[in-house]
Amino acid sequence: MNSVEGLLTQIRGLSSTASDVLSLQNVLKQADESLHAESTRLLPFLDQLDPSKHSLGYLYFLEACTAGPVTTESASSFVLIIARFISSCVAEQIRLAPDKFISVCKRFKDQVLLLEEPLRGVAPMLTAVRKLQSSTEHLTTLHPEFLLLCLLAKCYKTGLSILEEDIFEVDQPRDLYLYCYYGGMICIGQKCFRKALELLHNVVTAPMSTINAIAVEAYKKYILVSLIHHGQLSTSLPKYASGVAQRNLKSLCLSYMELANSYNNGKIADLETYVQANMEKFGSDNNLGLVKQVVSSIYKRNIQRLTQTYLTLSLQDIANTVQLNSPKEAEMHVLQMIQDGEIYATINQKDGMVRFVEDPELYKTCEMIEHIDLSIQRLMTLSNKLTVMDELISCDPLYLGKAGRERQRFDFDDFDSVPQRFNI
């Protein structure tokens, strides 16, 4: 007890300036074990500390308190405490002990899930993420936890706001895989298939030394989203995907590859029978909703192909070509696609004809010019970033050491600094 009291006074005393905080950190590190030993009795001491001023100390105490297993009674009280702590703590002090902060937040997530109220955790976790990140391009371990809570609470829009930011720095590869996988699922929920495809593609092609379950599940969803968005699936992974992924992924997702094949053949009846046959498999992977969307997208694909060949076409012919049951169904599909902006057409109900028109976008408006201009600037910034990174790596001693070792030695002249001619 005395040591704890002493610790408390030290915390209160050394929390004002930055140098004090650093020395406090050393003290706390040494006292960490003793804190953990008395974890059950630390709770009342928390009230003596102010989270906004003594964030580092509070964090250590809190981490020690929550180190034990999560129970339902303690969960509700802890949830309140941690939420308040997260909202009021000071970011700089937190960043001195990131692992502790992360473990506290993970416990928070477990407790929120135990109480089955993920919505309570969304806002605090968002604040936690913002406080832990050193910059918006930094991916922390808390990002995937946050996205998981968003998914479970079904508030996808909040998740999307985090996904808008580009990530360039990663702490742990596993964080990235989970982040991209959950992010992909959120985008699918919001029907932003393009962004979902991008995120899932990142998981599937990320460097990895062994195949992991996240990549396999991500690849299954990738196949389905690719069929919905592009209408086709590229059969091989790009060259920069890791060797492990290229060799193993396809064999682990065989039924999905079969689905992609039968989609490509264009026969709707075959596709539907295949889906019916494998309904349980898709269901056990929780991909049933996506698979149904794939089936409905094949009609769209076929109608879009018709716009390339015909100027006008009767609804009966559309129904026949696309293998729908009646002209009325064809009209419904075409109407839906016109409303979604996927094709440009007019329906003449009197004659039962559809007239396909060209894309009315003329690329002459101010908005278009602005859009192009912004894109150019964005790309220039990106390209500068790439050059900077290239320069950094070429000056990096580790890289130079490795490249130097592997340089081929051609002949004796390579080592001569003086040209041959001038040697006597």
Stretch of residues binding other proteins (CB under 8 A), selected from 89-97, 126-134, 256-264, 360-368: 360-368
Does the footprint of other proteins cover residue 323 (CB under 8 A)? Answer: no
Inter-residue contact 214 to 226 (CB < 8 Å) = no
| Residues from 66 through 125 that contact other proteins (CB under 8 A) | none
Q: Which helix (H) or strand (E) holds 169?
A: strand 169-170
| Phi (first) and psi of residue 170, to 5 degrees | -130, 140
Which residues 6+ apart lie within 8 Å of 387 measured at CB? none
Interface pick for other proteins out of 55, 141, 205, 287 (rule CB under 8 A): 205
Residue nearer to other proteins on the CB measure, 99 or 414? 99
| Residues from 172 through 201 that contact other proteins (CB under 8 A) | 173, 176, 198, 201
Interface pick for other proteins out of 332, 375, 394, 400 (rule CB under 8 A): 375
Stretch of residues binding other proteins (CB under 8 A), selected from 153-161, 222-230, 269-277, 372-380: 372-380
Interface pick for other proteins out of 22, 37, 277, 389 (rule CB under 8 A): 389
Which residues 6+ apart lie within 8 Å of 223 measured at CB? 233, 253, 256, 257, 259, 260
Stretch of residues binding other proteins (CB under 8 A), selected from 6-14, 142-150, 274-282, 371-379: 371-379
**Exposed, middle or buried by CB within 10 Å (0-12, 13-18, 19+), for 48?**
middle
Does the footprint of other proteins cover residue 351 (CB under 8 A)? Answer: yes
- Residue span 280-309 as binding mask against other proteins, x where in contact by CB under 8 A, dash where not: -------------------------x--xx
Does the footprint of other proteins cover residue 317 (CB under 8 A)? Answer: yes
Q: How far is the CB of 317 from other proteins (least distance, A)?
A: 6
For the chain, how many residues are written?
424
Q: How far is the CB of 212 from other proteins (least distance, A)?
A: 14
Instruction: Determine the 3-state secondary structure of 350 from DSSP.
Output: coil
Does the footprint of other proteins cover residue 244 (CB under 8 A)? Answer: no
Does the footprint of other proteins cover residue 379 (CB under 8 A)? Answer: yes
Q: How far is the CB of 363 from other proteins (least distance, A)?
A: 4
DSSP letter for 347, please. Answer: E
Residues 93, 7: Cα–Cα separation, whole Å = 17
| Phi (first) and psi of residue 55, to 5 degrees | -60, -45
Residue nearer to other proteins on the CB measure, 265 or 420? 265
Q: How far is the CB of 353 from other proteins (least distance, A)?
A: 5
Residues 260, 235: Cα–Cα separation, whole Å = 9
Residues 163, 175: Cα–Cα separation, whole Å = 14
Query: Whose CA is closest to 59, among 92, 97, 22, 108?
Result: 97
Which residues 6+ apart lie within 8 Å of 50 measured at CB? 58
The type of residue at 30 is Q
The type of residue at 219 is Y
Residue nearer to other proteins on the CB measure, 33 or 359? 359
Report the interface residues with other proteins, using CB under 8 A: 166-171, 173, 176, 198, 201-202, 205-207, 209, 240, 305, 308-314, 317, 351, 353, 358-359, 361-363, 368, 371-372, 375-376, 378-379, 382-383, 385-386, 389, 393, 398
